[in-house]
Amino acid sequence: MDLDGEVVYGQIVGVIIGTTNANTLFQLTTVGPYVLDTTALVFTKAGGGGNITIVQTTDATKTNLATGALASGEVATIDARGQAFESATGDIYWFQIVGCVKNIGGTTTLVGTPVIVDDNDAGGSTWIVGLEADDTLDNWELTVTGEAAHTIEWKLSYVEVKQ
């Protein structure tokens, strides 16, 4: 963006690469008018903190799809939805998983059992999504497990709400 007219309130900008914000959408939240090289533009994560993650699995090993750190005293609710697709067979597995993880006094645990709503074609019947608490690293992890000798592309959009 190098002209005033190219900046529009609510505009969505995607970050493609990077360590922290790769595959993340941001929305312009600064209200105009805008003055080139003067107005400070503020972007927030689109969808209330939405993140998009893509990973490919080729075996039945549990694979980390997304991770979030929790400091002592923090609670995070994670709402994720997505699909897995094997292009060679056309098989698909779709899912939504919602769960809560807390870190109280340095002990990180799940709060109850994550709720998973999912369905699949016959070929995706062994594919799995999960939410786990890692007490050693004090974080939560969204994990997926594919199938041996099958190349599966997993796409996930998730929102983390922390308190």
Q: Which domains does the chain have, with CATH numbers?
A: 4-47 (no CATH), 54-162 (2.60.40)
119: number of CA atoms within 13 Å, CB side? 0
Q: Which residues, 6 or more positions from 35, have their beta carbon under 8 angstroms from its beta carbon?
A: 4
Which of helix, strand or coil describes residue 124? helix
Q: What is the pLDDT along the chain (163 residues), one digit of tens a residue?
A: 444 556 777 777 777 777 777 777 777 777 778 787 788 887 777 654 467 788 999 999 999 989 999 999 999 999 898 999 999 999 999 999 999 999 999 999 999 999 999 999 999 999 999 999 999 999 999 999 999 999 999 988 888 888 8
Q: Which residues, 6 or more positions from 152, have their beta carbon under 8 angstroms from its beta carbon?
A: 56, 57, 58, 84, 85, 86, 127, 146
CB-based burial of residue 2 (10 Å sphere; 0-12 exposed, 13-18 middle, 19+ buried)? exposed
The reply to whether the predicted model has a pTM over 0.85 is: no
